[in-house]
Amino acid sequence: MDFLSAAYRILESAREPLRYEEITRRALAKGLIETSGKTPEATMGARLYSDVKKEDSRFEHVDRATFGIKKKAAIDEIGRRVQRMNEDTRRTLKKRLHEMPADRFEALIGELLVQVGFAEKTVQVTNYSNDGGIDVRGVLNAGDVTEVNAAVQVKRWKRNIQARTVRDVRGSLTTHEQGIIITTSDFSKGARTEANAIGKTPISLVNGEALIDLLIKHDVGVIKERHTVISLDDEWWDVISGVDEAEAVEPPIEETELPKVEFPLTVIAMNNPEVSAQLLNRDGQMEFNRIQYSSTSAAGKEATGWKSCNGWQFWKYQHPETMEWRFIDDLRLHH
């Protein structure tokens, strides 16, 4: 399972945001991720920080180093229907993989490797009747930096792959070859340990769920349909209707009750701590990229490119006493 899929599984189970270090710890404890690197926490953090910048990300950056599952919007029912349809497709895809002839399954893996980035002219499906344990060979161009010679064994099994299979694949490799095992099932703990054994050629493992993820990601045997869902732009309607941004449902707050900070105050973006601005006063005037904005939302939209942004719940400041990063709504004067 990849890092992001593991993070989603952990956060879904926790039902609350977690720091990326804790997400990593739980994922490793449950055997959801396997890594030979010495800093899996850094890898998890980097993947999450990069993913939350995408429009279709399943995650949100809740606080410094803390991530959660993105809150469902008003179109949640549509989202649930789409999710159910996608789950049905995944089950059907898994069934098709088990039903197709063995030689055709190996050919399918060859096609997947081409879509992943293997040079088409190098991908060769071995003779099914005498493959010597290796089913597909090919050369992957790794970002124009180096080429990786790969030997792939595919196992269309329902039972888990054991350590012996990993050793057999390693023994079938030629000089400078990278071994890969792709299965419709999963791998035992012993197999995963053997694949990453110190001092031995590492073997990459792709289980059934990861295989289906790859087929979907690279459009192999699936069709992705996009539909447009419309929803009201509440902020636009507030502006056009004459509703002042500063109006709020909360009772008035005395200025003496607000956190004591000095203006201009440095604030950071909720979705990217590297994006900063200056909050000029408690009324919400801001400066971003040396340009002054009359509202926190206007500055937020400029910083993100979004059509709508609630600036009071987008920008964060560091509380002078607790040193926690909190939404600037704490500083807001409600008139």
pLDDT the model gives residue 247? 45
Residues 268, 284 contacting (CB under 8 angstroms): no
pLDDT the model gives residue 233? 66
pLDDT the model gives residue 314? 87
Residues 152, 137 contacting (CB under 8 angstroms): yes
Q: What is the DSSP string of 116-130?
A: HTB-GGG-EEPPGGG
The radius of gyration of the chain's CA atoms, rounded to the nearest angstrom, is: 26
Q: Of all residues in the chain, what percent carry a pLDDT higher than 70? A: 84
Token pair in block for residue 253 = 């707050």
Q: How confident is residue 132, by pLDDT bands cut at 50, 70 and 90?
A: low
pLDDT the model gives residue 239? 60
Q: How far is CA 96 from CA 17, 90, 93, 175, 215, in A?
A: 37, 10, 5, 35, 12
pLDDT the model gives residue 139? 93
Instruction: Please give the torsion angle defined by the CA atoms of residues 34, 38, 40 and 46, in that order, rounded to the nearest 10 degrees.
Output: -130
**DSSP strand pairing (286-288 vs 272-279):** antiparallel
Residues 6+ away with beta carbon under 8 Å from 228: none
> Tokens 């279709």 identify what position?
56
Domains of the chain, first to last: 3-70 (1.10.10), 81-217 (3.40.1350.10), 234-331 (no CATH)
Element (H, E) at 293: strand 291-293
When the pLDDT of each residue in the chain is averaged and rounded to a whole number, the result is 84
β-bridge partners, 146: 142
Each residue's pLDDT tens digit, 184-214: 999 999 999 999 999 899 999 999 999 999 9
When mean pLDDT is compared across 27-41, 249-263, 268-282, the lowest value belongs to: 249-263
Token pair in block for residue 194 = 């053997």
Q: How confident is residue 277, by pLDDT bands cut at 50, 70 and 90?
A: very high
Distance in Å from the first CA to the final CA of the chain? 51
> Tokens 């709020």 identify what position?
248
* Secondary structure of residue 47 in the 3-state scheme: helix
Q: Does a cis peptide bond (omega within 30 degrees of 0) precede residue 202?
A: no
Segment 48-73 mean pLDDT: 81
Each residue's pLDDT tens digit, 302-333: 888 887 788 888 899 998 888 888 899 888 86
Does position 143 have pLDDT exceeding 80, yes or no? Answer: no
| Residue (of 134, 144, 130, 3) closest to 67 by Cα position | 3
Strand order in the sheet with 146-155: 124-125, 136-142, 146-155, 177-183, 203-206
Each residue's pLDDT tens digit, 218-248: 999 998 877 776 666 665 666 666 654 444 4
